[in-house]
A and B are shown apart, each in its own frame.
Chain A
Amino acid sequence: MADQVLNLKDIRKAYNIDTEVETEILHGIDLNLNKGEFCALIGPSGSGKSTLLNIIGLLDRPTSGTLAIEGRDTGALNDTELTKLRGQRIGFVFQYHHLIAAFTALENVMMPMLVQRGFADAAMQQRAEYLLAQVGLTKWQNNSSQNMSGGQQQRVAIARALAVNPALVLADEPTGNLDTKSAETAFDLMREVNTTNGTTFLIVTHNMSLAKRCDRTIEVIDGAIHGAV
């Protein structure tokens, strides 16, 4: 249990509850992710992958079931506590990188730490510089995110996801908007971080060749897990 980063038990998610058009998207998901795992989450569009990812990322609440992050049950937490836990233990990488254009690459990487602590400090900057070096973007650290290529921006987004040293990184089609070479670079980078730091990754992808290179592939079809491939 100590090494379990994520534990989902019978997670259900329904919309329009108690109305004639009530729709259940997730039908009792059970899923465990251990520390250091590098997993792919695959499935056709509309299968419930993004809903599941939002619930795991504490951006959304399940209708029923239990969700624990590093053994801590999140069901009883209020919105403020969920936000805090999300900021401290979960990192996000999105398909469209979502860097904040008003800030430089370095500042974007500092952002999760800044949000947590309120004020910038030297340690924060050193950590951001270290992460940007890890993703090979030291030269570009003072560039506005708008003046970088898509691949570079996604690498900054990966560095940003690692800023608070999270237990779990959730990546929603992180290579979906990149060319093949950049996609390879971004994937390799995440793999390297996983190997080096032992950070757990859950990557939503449609790219089966990348999925096959993960430790485990979890397939979601029609709101239910169809087992590991």
Chain B
Amino acid sequence: MNSNIPFEVTAAVRFLREGILQTLLIVVGVAVGVSVIVFMSALINSLQSNLMARVLSGQAQIVLSPPKQSARPMLQLGPNSVVRVVQTRVQQQTSIDQWIKLRTILSQMPEINAVSPMASGAALITRGSATRSISLLGIDPDNYYRIVNIPADMVEGTSRISGQDALIGKDLAEDIGLRTGDKLHVSNASGTNRTLTISGIFDLGNKGANLRNVIVTLNTAQGLVDLVGGVSSIDVNLNDAYAADAVADRIVSAHAVKADSWIKTNAQFFTAMNAQTISMTTIRLSVALSVALGIASVLVVSVVQRTKEIGILRAMGASQGQVLRLFLVQGGIVGLLGSIGGVLLARLMLVFWVLLARNPDGTNFFAIDITPAIYAWTAVLATAAGILAAAVPAINAARLDPVVAIRG
């Protein structure tokens, strides 16, 4: 007998080893339950991270724009007023007030890691007899690419643009037959027009965006959307994407701008993610409960089988606490072994999943990301669940009257 191992642990291990078939069955049962939890957690977490990354990589976390223009009523409401109708004002294309100063202030905030001004608006492109309405995005490439990774989405040409260059979407290029190096005639409603050269074609993975968006430099866009020297919005990215709401509120309270956080503009996405998380948690809890009940039922039987042994241990001076711990340790060991088996099984299932679940082009649906912390947490939680599940049978064992127990 090992002199470093407490009596309760030694006895628990021996008892489990003696009923090896019973022990193996419950350990396998726990392992299967744990593997389902780990496998599903890994899959859903990876899917959510992937979706989140896709959502975040295509948009700014906070978009600052000029405050909404509202009509100022001429008639003040008083006690004798009957009816007042205020028509909603047509929103004019205006610049963010003192945007350069604001950009400097934002760049100095520690929680912000990228600030990119943008001048955007509607325009028309013409090629031969074909005309298409487009959304012109005037950007500062170095800063904008830190927010939306356009270089990674290029399918042709280069993402580097200067005054006369434009990037267009794959679908727009196909629609009007443009290629890199071709000229593009851009005009706006007030008659300003410019001829640009297509330096690259991008694919944002969204047909609408590919058909509509034309990316040019900030200076070029400012002239074409009637915002000379101004910007229509400032895109901001944070170190912690989930702090977007709080940071947006702080910016609004200190500056004359409207701020939309990605959390608010993607409310439906978040609702779907939350619904997924809730259903996943429900499945996890159900599986965990059935695992715990399995451990408990085996230990209840074990207590009945070992009644005489418990009695004899009590006669030899074993305290109620020692008997209690003996069965709690058994629950913990079953939980621990089951969790180790479960994690290995889940790993195997994930390997198969990665091999089998692929896109038509052979690439993976998304990267499965399992951190060692998941393994550690699973082991800790399964062991704790085992101990918890053992509580009732352990208490029953500890409360056995030694006289009755010895008599069996």
Contacts and interface: CB of A to CB of B under 8 A. Distances in A.
B15 A59 contact: no
A107 B1 contact: yes
Contact of B14 (A83, A102, A110): A102
Interface string B1-45: 111111100110011011000000000000000000000000000
Nearest to A164: B317
B2 A84 contact: no
Contact of B7 (A88, A118, A125): A118
A17 interface: no
Interface stretch (B54-62, B174-182, B289-297, B307-315): B307-315
A119 B308 CA distance: 23
A72 interface: no
Contacts of A57: 315
A86 interface: yes
A116 interface: yes
Interface string A76-113: 00011001101110001010001011110001001110
Nearest to B2: A120
A115 B1 contact: no
B402 interface: yes
B1 A114 contact: yes
Interface in B302-356: 308-309, 311-320, 322
Contacts of A73: none
Interface in B266-302: none
A166 to B, nearest CB: 10
A101 B18 contact: yes
A46 B67 CA distance: 97
A132 B1 CA distance: 17
A122 B319 CA distance: 23
A185 interface: no
A164 B2 CA distance: 20
B350 to A, nearest CB: 38
Interface residues of B, number: 29
B406 interface: yes
Contacts of B308: 98
What size tier do the contact residues of chain A reach? 20 to 34
A107 B1 CA distance: 8
Main secondary structure on chain A at its contact with chain B? helix
Contact of A59 (B5, B6, B14, B402): B402
Given A102-B17, A114-B1, A119-B3, A83 B317 contact: yes
Contact of A115 (B2, B4, B5, B7): B7
Given A94-B406, A115-B7, A118-B6, A79 B316 contact: no
A82 B78 CA distance: 89
Interface string A45-74: 000000000100101100000000000000
A110 B316 CA distance: 11
A101 to B, nearest CB: 6
B403 interface: yes
A83 B314 CA distance: 7
A37 to B, nearest CB: 21
B18 A60 contact: no
A92 to B, nearest CB: 5
Given A98-B312, A101-B18, A102-B18, A115 B406 contact: no
Contacts of B402: 59
Contacts of A120: 1-3, 5, 7, 10
Given A107-B1, A119-B6, A112 B14 contact: no
Nearest to B321: A80
Interface string B393-408: 0000000001100100
Given A59-B402, A88-B317, A112-B317, A100 B312 contact: yes
Contacts of B11: 102
Q: Which 7 A-B pairs have the closest CB atoms?
A: A87-B317, A102-B14, A120-B1, A102-B18, A112-B316, A98-B312, A115-B318
Interface of B: 1-7, 10-11, 14-15, 17-18, 308-309, 311-320, 322, 402-403, 406
Given A83-B314, A101-B309, A110-B1, 10 more contacts: A57-B315, A83-B318, A94-B406, A102-B15, A102-B18, A107-B1, A112-B316, A115-B318, A116-B317, A120-B1
26 contacts: A54-B403, A59-B315, A59-B402, A60-B403, A83-B314, A83-B317, A87-B318, A92-B312, A92-B315, A98-B309, A98-B406, A100-B309, A102-B11, A102-B18, A107-B1, A111-B313, A114-B1, A114-B10, A115-B7, A115-B313, A115-B316, A118-B6, A120-B1, A120-B2, A120-B3, A125-B1
